[in-house]
Amino acid sequence: MENSNYNSYEKSTKKDYSEFGKEGLDLRHWGTAIDISGRRFNAYTDKKYIQQEFSEPIKRYFEQINIEQKEALLVDLGGADGFLLNTILQNIDEKNPDVKKTGVVVDLDPTEKERVRFKKAQESGERKNINFAVANVTELPFEDNSVDVIISRMTVQYLNQNKQREFFQEISRVLKIGGLAIIMTVDDFSEGEKLNKTLEEITSIISGNSNFDRSLLTYNTIKLLGKDFEGSAFKPILGHRNISMPFSIEGFADRFNLDEDKKQKLDIVFKNGLKLNPELFEIIDGILCLKAKIHNMQLKKISDSNKIE
């Protein structure tokens, strides 16, 4: 989220997640994902998905530790308008009501749209006990060993490899000993390269920017980082779930206000992708879907004396 290419991409696109609250059953609907059972869900807002991937592990974390202080700080890195963090706090409050939980969303928010939406949500009674911090996810505004739980959904892939290392180093710095981090990212079944290329072509068409600096973490990279996590006082749990993502030209056009020329260029990208990499695609209800893996890394910070060398 730090590099200027990301900023220029966001400034040139429409980002008003008006689909929040819908469940993403329409394949044209932005955010729709399909799991291997065929269940369709909105990857941004689906309550069951958020519960499984974020709320339950955090609930178990609070159950397993003895929080002598009756307060806990939870931080969402790249959390946009705070929707995810707010949902998680509501979920875990039901299980751990005695612990006062404060949330902070960290986001550069170059367009300032997320801050506006965050403020509106606060004024309507949502986002209780949550603050918004405009900051770089690789330069966190927190003291060492001060954060109980860190979450980050679909943010790390917007950083290049050097920034990704800084991202995890910062998490290691600010997380308390025994603290929990849940980092979600995505790649494809060919170790990320083909998905990266497709996304770069799509982004170039949508934004007019041909130098979008993004680096998907491949599974091999995650496993290598996992070893580094252990050397940096992290004990990782690496898991993933297979999904399919609809590549609907109409869906892209609706969200990003694409003209006919860009829609035609997208059509070429999709057809070439299916022709060159048929193993990565499937057709669902007449719409081309890209097979992908969502990785969910649970990182528990351990003491220096327990580091694995």
pLDDT in tens, 1-10: 333 333 444 4
33: helix, coil or strand? strand
Asked, for residue 48, whether it belongs to a domain, the answer is yes
- Within a domain: 307: no
Structure tokens at 51: 């519960």
pLDDT of residue 25: 55
Residue with tokens 């178990």: 60
| 309 part of a folded domain | no
Burial of 112 (0-12, 13-18, 19+ CB in 10 A): exposed
Q: Tell whether 166 is covered by a domain.
A: yes
Decide if 81 contacts 117 (C-beta within 8 A). yes
pTM (two decimals): 0.85
Separation between Cα atoms, residue 130 and residue 145, nearest integer Å: 20
All residue ranges of the chain with pLDDT < 50 are 1-24, 305-309
Domain residue limits at 182: 4-302
In eight-state DSSP terms, residue 36 is T
Please give the Cα distance from 74 to 16 (Å, whole number): 25
Q: How many helices (H) and strands (E) does the chain have?
A: 10, 10
Q: Is 106 within a domain?
A: yes
Q: Is the Cβ–Cβ distance between 111 and 10 less than 8 Å?
A: yes
Interior/surface letters 155-181, b for 16+ CB within 10 angstroms, e for the rest = bbbbbeeebbebbbebbbbbbbebbbb
**What does the mean pLDDT of the chain come to?**
81
Instruction: With respect to residue 99, please indicate whether it lies within any of the assigned structural domains.
Output: yes
pLDDT of residue 7: 41
Tokens found for residue 203: 């982004």
The reply to whether 251 falls in a domain is yes
If one counts every other C-beta atom within 10 angstroms of the C-beta of residue 272, the result is 12
In a domain, 308, yes or no: no
Contact 187, 292 (CB under 8 A): yes
CATH code at 62? 3.40.50.150
Quote the CA–CA distance of 82 and 12 in Å, as a whole number: 22
| Number of domains composing the chain | 1
Report pLDDT for 130. Answer: 95
